[in-house]
Chains A and B, each alone.
Chain A
Amino acid sequence: MNGNGILEIIAAIFIFGGGVLSVLSALGLMRFPDIYTRNHAGTKSTTLAVLVTLTGVFMYFWIAEGYISVRLILGILFVFITAPTAGHIIVRAAYRSGVKVSDSTVEDELGPMLRKKEGEREGES
């Protein structure tokens, strides 16, 4: 086995690892109690999975075909910009429209702040 073969296997391991991470985060999506914790599993582990998979694909193209794919790097970049924005907006919208946090939640410092602001607005009108 030559050096390229070994590197190809490493790339394959990266891609496989990305797949496993995706499966695990899908599992987390089903198991966690409320939308906020599900959001952790859904958006976050998936970003890592995408990162690992695309890195593996990038390595494979580089080794096997001697071709540096800029598009894959741009893909990673854009996933990294959009995924947290979407996660933040989903959680924020959910909290503002009154989705309950799960019973196991131990502390909540945001609720009192929002309720206070609501009270102020009602007091003005």
Chain B
Amino acid sequence: MPAQFLTNLFIAFLWMLLNDEDELRFSTFFAGYLVGIIIVFIMHRFFGTQFYLRRFFALLKLILIFIRELSSSSVFVIKHIVKKEVTIKPGIFYYKTELRGEWEVSLLALLLTLTPGSVVMEVTPEGDAFYVHAMDIAESRENLLRSLAKFERAIMEVLR
């Protein structure tokens, strides 16, 4: 991985110098770095390791998934708020997660608590299961489980 990073820096420097401007500009260097990312990505299999920005892209993907879930479930909550009568059926359910370790579990709990319509109420002492309070369990259980699985997969890609 350091070899890939150094190659990328080298390409950026080369780009900046070959542009032959009056002074060394950071914006040119950055443009060269972006070009370098593409080149390193194309040839990363020759280094024999994974692409060094893979985690970064996985993180971007996780953020995008999170924003989508956030907006769709916010619409769900707001629909219930403006309804004429409150007809929600809340409930608490048990969810066993495949994730292990402090970072993964707390990241999942954070994301799950941030999306409207679900709060993590308890984490078991073993740290491998949640008790989740859902705002309308009758309607949204399937949705919730689906978004949980999506989050789990994305978190695994980032942290493993």
Q: Distance (Å) between the CB of B129 and the closest chain A CB?
A: 10
29 contacts between A and B (CB under 8 A): A27-B81, A27-B82, A28-B77, A31-B81, A31-B86, A32-B86, A33-B88, A36-B90, A36-B119, A37-B90, A40-B77, A44-B114, A44-B115, A44-B116, A45-B81, A48-B71, A48-B74, A51-B70, A84-B109, A87-B119, A88-B109, A88-B121, A91-B133, A106-B90, A106-B91, A107-B137, A109-B94, A110-B94, A113-B131
- In the complex, the answer to whether A84 meets B113 with C-beta atoms within 8 Å is yes
Contact B91 A107 (CB under 8 A): yes
B119 and A105 contact, CB distance less than 8 A: no
- Quick check: is B98 within 8 A (CB to CB) of the other chain? no
From A32, A37, A109, contact of B93 by CB (8 A): A109
Which residues of A sit under 8 angstroms from B89, Cβ to Cβ?
104-106
Name B's A-contacting residues (CB within 8 A): 70-71, 74, 77-78, 80-82, 86, 88-94, 109-110, 113-122, 131, 133, 135, 137-138
- Choose from B116, B118, B131 the contact partner of A45 (Cβ within 8 Å): B116
CB distance from B64 to the nearest CB of A (A): 14
Q: Is the interface of B mostly helix, strand, loop or mixed?
A: mixed
Interface of A is mostly: helix
* A33, chain B: closest CB distance, angstroms: 7
| Chain A hits for B86, CB < 8 A | 31-33
